[in-house]
Amino acid sequence: MAQVDPTAWPLRLTQRQSVGEKTVKGQERKEPFRVFRGQLNLGLNAFFAAGAALWLSLGATSSAAQQITLAEAFGRMQGQELQLQILDLEREVAEEVVRQARAQRLPRVSLRFQTSYTQQDILSADNTTFSSGQSEFPTTSIALQVSQPLYDATAFRAMPVAQAEQAVVAAEAEQARQEIAGRLVGSYLSVAEAALDVRQAEVLVRARTQLERILELEVQAGRADRRLLDRATGDTFGARAELSDAQLGRSDALFDLYRFTGPEVTSVVVPASIGIPSISNFASTFSRDRLLQMSPRVEIARARAALARKRLEQIKGERLPSANLTLDVTRERTEGSLFGGGSDVQSSELGLSVDVPIYEGGVVRSRIREAETRVQIEDLRVREAADLVTRRYGALLEAAQQSQARTAAIGQQLNEARQELAGARAAGDAGRADARLLLEQGLRVDILAVELQASRLRTLRIQAELLTLFGALDVGALSQQLSS
């Protein structure tokens, strides 16, 4: 039997079991039916993975296939993301709280209408004229009351507190919108990366299949050993299993995207070339100092610290006196009585009331100490937020630089591989190159092309995370960059 050089081709399957060989007329002949345990396992894995991928994609295949861009995905998200509707409602609530606080400075006007029916029985009296008697008469009164607060520190300082709460709600809403947009971009890029994984797996399947056919022809011609062909067949099974796993991963990525787009989407637009800006230019535009000015997380911490100070001032106002100006106008009409005819009386009262708090059991002093402690807590949280975003910025910037360097290295390798492939094809045309060498060079070029595109997508993902950190993620501009 001919010996097989194990270094002739990089084979991944080493555990195999053959079933018998037969000898006819003293000559060795290999039985055409062979069973390989590794191939069987890979075949079963490929079968189950393909079935799972088919089951997961039933929702997508039930309707017409749809490929969307990032801008289209963002438009769909705007119409069905419930969190965005919640943010709008919270903004309306904050506006109403501001209106309520403003209304505490305005006068209070009330109109009271009262009617009564009186029955009098005089049982005994010193009056000789009416020593006894009985009368029944109705009484109607209308009172207009106007109260204008002249000074009320607690009520008047509710307005700055409400405005500070509105600023907190606005900052939290902006951060939430940025995070939602960032999750959308992340899901979109995950689908794009999964599509590249599928493409790379398809390239491997195509290359393994071609190698298997080449070896089959060489075995038939007697120039290669049968076991080398069996190993190539196992590699083909493995490549197909990896393709099924990649398709399953793409289905999972699409399910994550369905939260924003709905189940009609089956793929996303992945351009052949993705424009990536220079990281050095990005770092000069979005510096650390600018990060502390623009970061939504830091802005929220500062808004909460300002709110804590406003609440402290409002609580301190409870120790101050309050003054109110009141005006009461009352008209009372009585129709008949025991002592004669009816009456129609109108009275007006103008008053000034001053309330001076003297002792409240130490409650106000305790609330002031509590508010002062909360101010200190919020100040520390501002420092904590600034430290966290600064660290995150440094880590993302370093990752972006490494990703860009890796992209450049892959691009250089791809250019070299294309040159080597061109030389191998020229040698093949002259009859000096083996078909396996041409196949290997072509596979290397295809794999590097896919890896280059995947590396650019990773750099774009890091760039989106950096922009989200600054609160400057523009999905429209990123979609144009992704489609360029």
| The pLDDT value given to residue 5 | 39
Could you list the beta-strand ranges (E) of 356-391. none
| The pLDDT value given to residue 340 | 58
Q: For the chain, which ranges sit under pLDDT 70? A: 1-65, 122-133, 336-341, 431-433, 483-484
Q: At what angle do helices 70-80 and 158-220 cross, to 10 degrees?
A: 130
Instruction: Please tell us whether the domain made up of 36-93+159-309+368-483 is placed in CATH 1.20.1600.10.
Output: yes
| The pLDDT value given to residue 33 | 33
Decide: residue 129, CB within 10 A, 0-12 exposed, 13-18 middle, 19+ buried. Answer: exposed
- Determine how many CB atoms are found less than 10 A away from the CB of residue 49: 20
Question: CB–CB of 382/352 below 8 Å?
Answer: no
| The pLDDT value given to residue 132 | 57
| CA 15/CA 371 separation, integer angstroms | 71
| CA 109/CA 322 separation, integer angstroms | 19
Where do the domains of the chain lie?
A: 36-93+159-309+368-483, 105-122+131-151+321-356
| The pLDDT value given to residue 133 | 62
Instruction: Please tell us whether the domain made up of 105-122+131-151+321-356 is placed in CATH 1.10.8.
Output: no
440: its two tokens: 């290997």
- Determine how many CB atoms are found less than 10 A away from the CB of residue 325: 14
- Determine how many CB atoms are found less than 10 A away from the CB of residue 164: 19
* Three-class secondary structure of residue 123 per DSSP: coil
* Three-class secondary structure of residue 442 per DSSP: helix
Whether the domain at 36-93+159-309+368-483 and the domain at 105-122+131-151+321-356 fall into the same CATH topology: no
For 215-230, what is each residue's pLDDT tens digit?
Answer: 888 888 888 788 888 8
- Predicted model pTM: 0.73
Decide: residue 76, CB within 10 A, 0-12 exposed, 13-18 middle, 19+ buried. Answer: middle
Cross-strand partners of 429:
none
| CA 310/CA 117 separation, integer angstroms | 53
* Helix or strand (DSSP H, E) at 92: helix 82-103
210: its two tokens: 């071609």
Helices of type H across 221-362:
226-261, 279-285, 288-294, 296-316
Question: CB–CB of 327/205 below 8 Å?
Answer: no
